[in-house]
Structure 1
Amino acid sequence: MNNPSFKELGEISPSRYEIAMMAAKRARRIVNGSAPLTEDIEAKPVTQALHEIMERKVSKDE
């Protein structure tokens, strides 16, 4: 999967700020040792977080 566009991410949340915060929080957890929730383990933390958000494995409440 290529990096998702904001149009695709808009289906998850209409707020770009909220998506950025979701990705930042999840990326921080990945850097701190959290196991990846998707198959793409070789990706950088922010890319990994965006993939997890697109696959709906990360919610707004986390």
Structure 2
Amino acid sequence: MGSGLETNGEKVPEPLAGFRYRGIRKVRVSPAMHCNVVIAAEDQHISISRYPLERLASISWSFS
């Protein structure tokens, strides 16, 4: 028996385990959010580039 995607005629996505990520992600934000990120990064004495990484790293990821 096929997966739900196959039985609905949808393409099954390729597994992500073998995918090679570049590590670069650009995100557009509003000027107000940019300002908030700059202030938060300065408060923590880290760069504006490092701040989003620290925030993402602090999230508990669970995929089920």
Per the shorter chain, which TM-score range? 0.3 to 0.5
Q: Which has the larger radius of gyration?
A: 2
**Structure with larger RCO (C-alpha < 8 A, sep 6+):** 1
